[in-house]
Structure 1
């Protein structure tokens, strides 16, 4: 028997069966709480106005597109390396792929959430969901061919057995690994504070963390108390993975539109390198720490922080470029650009780095409100 609520314990003896469910209904508890087959915490609908809820639709679309581009880069890089080993590890994708990944995975999410209605978990995980995944991916492939060739119909061969096997493996990965964990993310919506001058929760007794000096600035939104402990947003590993995937997204979009200006005919792709995942992931991770320290501890404004970010970014890019060039894995060369240094950094990209530095602060504020609920 489930433990009774405090007000039920004060009311007298425990009630069983329908009486217990009736008490739950009168107290406002959701009907699924008494159902043995209730949804998990990660999938239970959150009541309107609740402080913590599932990720907004726009955020899930953003994640799905970024994750899809990451898979495109990984797969194309692995295929290229097997065909012709090259330590540059180049991978390819396009903004069209990003958009279609967002829409298809958003649709497949709806399919995944219906798995409890299927009498056989095995049949759903290894037959029904992969079938839906393969069907949508086939349609997406045809749509991409039409887009890349200006809408002209081409006699394209049907997907081979290897391609179908790869899509099946990806479908199992989505249902058994990615979605199981991704749908456990929660978004902590900003709540109106009763006291405008609130500076955060008082330090816990016995806490080892020293209170930050008061600077007259509020903490990042969502930096309150979550689950009885100070909220830290996503774990550091997940933040690193996010920033690494976002680095792929940035480079694919930038190189695609840059190539679009230079080429007039033929299929155009954006490209990046597998090394960019580690370079962007580590760089953005450090820049985020700088943001929280300089803004919330030192009280520095944007105009004072951005030069620090840009200086660190150029230093990071130069360091990685020197290391990768020594082993033949450097995928960029700016020697043909003016204002370059050793062909590894160039001031031509300064406006882009300034924009990404500003955007990094916005991403950090959003990620601070995202929580991961681990599986039990």
Structure 2
């Protein structure tokens, strides 16, 4: 008489992403957007059908940290002020962060941007002409990136997607009912 296998142990509740994991996602997002923006700019200004997008490795740190800070602002401000007010705050933060990181990188000859050719630039590190794009980017970052990233969860179990029972079934049976071959 066959006995029923014991039910699998209960799965632990999914846990939110770590701060480092969220920072990484924000860094990659910012990096990608920078490349796409510069490609679109090159096309709009020079009609370059190659769409060459460029950025710097520094952009990973800059965007990851900037968006992680905006995430914390979002969590603190979401019940206190409307989205347009938050986006104005995010835009001001973005200008402050862009200026600060640009000034620091310039000290080492490593600042990858120079807005000196823009009419309303300040020290070539920031420009008022980007106010609307930064505002729109902050709106999209909150609505599409930050809110969804905060909903992501790690699941309990192996990171490679293995589920109990698969190894024994793939080996033609002989399992112990817990997904392992007898003798493992």
TM (norm. structure 1) is 0.39
For residue 271 of structure 1, give the secondary structure of its aligned residue in structure 2.
coil
Counterpart in the other structure of 1:364: 146
The answer as to 2:93 corresponding to 1:351 is: no
Q: Distance in 1 between matches of 2:148 and 2:112?
A: 31
Counterpart in the other structure of 1:250: 33
For residue 54 of structure 2, give the secondary structure of its aligned residue in structure 1.
strand
Q: Distance in 1 between matches of 2:49 and 2:73?
A: 43
Counterpart in the other structure of 1:271: 54
Q: Distance in 2 between matches of 1:317 and 1:254?
A: 16
After superposition, the Cα gap between the structure-2 partners of 1:375 and 1:234, relative to the gap in structure 1 and judged at 3 Å, is same
For the 8 Å contact 1:337–1:346, the answer to whether it is kept is: yes
For the 8 Å contact 1:233–1:367, the answer to whether it is kept is: no
Q: Distance in 1 between matches of 2:110 and 2:58?
A: 8
For residue 330 of structure 1, give the secondary structure of its aligned residue in structure 2.
coil
Residue 373 (structure 1) aligned to one of 152, 155, 159: 155
Q: Distance in 1 between matches of 2:141 and 2:70?
A: 8
Cα offset, 1:375, TM superposition = 5.2
Give the structure, 1 or 2, with the largest relative contact order (CA under 8 Å, sep 6 or more): 2
Cα offset, 1:272, TM superposition = 0.5
Counterpart in the other structure of 1:147: none
Q: Distance in 2 between matches of 1:270 and 1:261?
A: 12
Residue 77 (structure 2) aligned to one of 263, 269, 294: 294
Cα offset, 1:247, TM superposition = 0.9
Q: Distance in 2 between matches of 1:258 and 1:306?
A: 23
Counterpart in the other structure of 1:261: 44
Cα offset, 1:369, TM superposition = 1.6
CA distances 1:293-347 after superposition (whole Å, capped 9, x unpaired):
0113xx2111221221111110000000001111011111111111110010001
Counterpart in the other structure of 1:334: 115
Gap runs ≥5 in structure 2: 159-184
TM (norm. structure 2) is 0.76
Counterpart in the other structure of 1:19: 3
After superposition, the Cα gap between the structure-2 partners of 1:311 and 1:266, relative to the gap in structure 1 and judged at 3 Å, is closer
CA distances 1:192-248 after superposition (whole Å, capped 9, x unpaired):
xxxxxxxxxxxxxxxxxxxxxxxxxxxxxxxxxx82xxx863110000000100111
Q: In the comparison of the two structures, how many residue pairs are matched?
A: 155
Counterpart in the other structure of 1:306: 87
CA distances 1:258-312 after superposition (whole Å, capped 9, x unpaired):
101233457331000000000000010001000010113xx21112212211111
Instruction: Compute the RMSD of aligned alpha carbons.
Output: 2.3
Q: Distance in 1 between matches of 2:117 and 2:142?
A: 32
Q: How does 1:80-119 map to 2 (within 5 A)?
A: none
The answer as to 2:64 corresponding to 1:281 is: yes
Gap runs ≥5 in structure 1: 1-16, 34-40, 42-225
After superposition, the Cα gap between the structure-2 partners of 1:267 and 1:302, relative to the gap in structure 1 and judged at 3 Å, is closer
Q: Distance in 1 between matches of 2:60 and 2:90?
A: 19
Q: Distance in 2 between matches of 1:364 and 1:356?
A: 12
Q: How does 1:166-181 map to 2 (within 5 A)?
A: none
